[in-house]
Amino acid sequence: MKQLEGKTALVTGGSRGIGAAIAQRLAREGAQVALTYKASPEKAAGVVKAIEAQNGRAIAIEADSADPRAMVNAVETTVRELGRLDVLVNNAGIGVYKDISEFTVNDFDAIVAVNIRAVFMAVTSALPHLKSGSRIITIGSCQAERMPGPGGALYAMSKSALVGFTKGIARDLGPKGITANLVHPGPVDTDMNPANGPAADFQRSLMAVDTFGTGDEVAAMVVYLAGPESRYITGAGFLIDGGTNI
């Protein structure tokens, strides 16, 4: 029996990159999967088809994470279409990199809306459906702890906020048998941050292992945290960053 057989997961931002890898890995472990997308319906459909080709069940939900109501709708749609919700993976996020003197209030509001408020909305919307044994897993960043270069003040702020939020909800939800944890990727080879991109050499210079990670490697940690063996882990953060800037 697969370790997530009979479970249902919702992955925000699941149409590409790390989110797509997480959605497909959860499905391979037996979970039904709902994934949200904003601007990539074709890619979202491709992830669904890939899961279905492996005899899994998946649905794609259009949802702009910057819209609070969209997160509520994503949870409601997941439960209505798939019957339940056991694993919430908050993966959707954005990054805006500028010198601090160049940031605008619109930049601040955009990052807070997607990287922080959307997580809050997804969690609070999911809570009525989560039972003992459920999991909340949020994708943070190694930059929540270390900022090796300029321009990332707001991004680091938003990911650091998720650390405090996760520790808080872990306390609140522990008595209910629900765990909450963070996964902090470092440089991962995706279309948003390719291993041959203009900043790749700088990023590799910071790593102990001198290579980009993969979405599947991040997904493997998410699956572990979603599974039964992680029952005693909550309020924790796990770095998957190749030893970046240790």
- What amino acid occupies position 246? I
* Burial class of residue 80 in the structure, from the number of CB atoms within 10 Å of its CB (0-12 exposed, 13-18 middle, 19+ buried): exposed
CA distance 29 to 193: 27
Return the structure tokens found at 162. Answer: 């998720």
Q: Identify the H or E element spanning 172.
A: helix 153-173
Q: How far apart are CA 43 and CA 190, in angstroms?
A: 14
**Cα gap 74→9, rounded to integer Å:** 11
> How many Å apart are CA 103 and CA 154, to the nearest integer?
9
The catalytic residue among 37, 155, 224, 232 is 155
* Whole-angstrom Cα Rg for the chain: 17
Which sign does the torsion angle of CA 231, 85, 20, 142 carry?
Answer: negative
Query: How remote is the C-alpha of 124 from its chain's centroid?
Result: 16
Dihedral class, residue 161 (left if φ above 0, else alpha if ψ from -120 to 50, else beta): alpha
Residue 224: active-site member: no
DSSP 24: H
Could you give the residue numbers annotated as active site?
A: 155
